[in-house]
Amino acid sequence: LGWGGSSRPDFTCKSTEETEAWFIDSFEEWRKAKNLDKFVLLGHSFGGYVASKYALKHPEHVQHLILVGPAGFSSESDMSEGFTQFKATWKGAVLNHLWESNFTPQKLVRSFGPWGPNLVRRYTSARFGVHATGDKLNEDESALLTDYIYHKLAAKASGELCLKYIFSFGAFARKPLLHSASEWKVPTSFIYGYQDWMNYKGAQEARKSMNVPCEIIRVPQAGHFVFIDKAKQFHSAVIYACRRILSADPHDECFPQGCTSA
């Protein structure tokens, strides 16, 4: 029900609570099948939201939580004045209607049929090439990424159909994680690209209410796909976050070079 090689079961949920349980319970069944007891859990974007919800329900199994540009730490009350004004326009109203109707980017790619791969290629060559935030992909890398993204977007709809139940238009969480920060029981590391459209300030606000170790790492010249934009720095940040928790003397670990603490 996720990305990659997921079996993509039919999505039948009709509420936020039911949708969250669909993901959390599925992951818990996977954990049992893999015979995992305690582990480091990393989630990116919406995966960060799911990972957080899982850690809130099953903290006994999560040794450390790493959230990479996670969704869900802001609500509609955090909406900028500019976005509020846009929602009031006819264009904003149309896009909001499409969102509430569950019209996803994946549906757009599927609707293009044989032109779908070219649509994805134009995006990847621009986002990770001409207009790259960080390191540019070469031609072979771009072709591989395009092929990967297209086949995942064009596959059967499943988990993507949850989005309208979890977020309102603009990716604002209907049940913001910020409201659950005081219930956090798992040490957490946040990783954001400097140009990530997910605002790291939500994590800063959450940290104020957390009663567990929490660190926020920012990677320069990187956007929401920090692991592609600045792969080396991202890997360094993940290794640092793990070692800070798993090391016998965490204070001996060196902060990843080129990154900043927020």
pLDDT (tens place) for every residue of the chain, 262 residues total: 777 778 888 889 999 999 999 999 999 999 999 999 999 999 999 999 999 999 999 999 999 999 999 999 976 666 667 777 888 888 888 888 888 888 888 888 998 888 999 999 999 999 998 888 889 999 999 999 999 999 988 888 888 899 899 998 888 899 999 999 999 999 999 999 999 999 999 999 999 999 999 999 999 999 999 999 999 999 999 999 999 888 777 677 889 999 999 9
Q: Are strands 172-173 and 167-168 parallel, antiparallel or unpaired?
A: antiparallel
Q: What is the pLDDT of residue 65?
A: 98
- What type of residue is 3? W
Pairing mode, if any, of strands 172-173 and 39-44? unpaired
What one-character DSSP code corresponds to residue 6?
-
58 closest CA partner among 78, 86, 36, 33? 36
Give yes or no for a contact between 211 and 222, defined as CB atoms under 8 angstroms apart.
no
CATH tag for 16-78+170-261 (out of 2.60.40.10, 3.40.50.1820, 3.30.70.150, 3.30.230.70): 3.40.50.1820
Instruction: CATH 3.40.50.1820 in the chain: give the residue spans.
Output: 16-78+170-261
Contact 62, 38 (CB under 8 A): yes
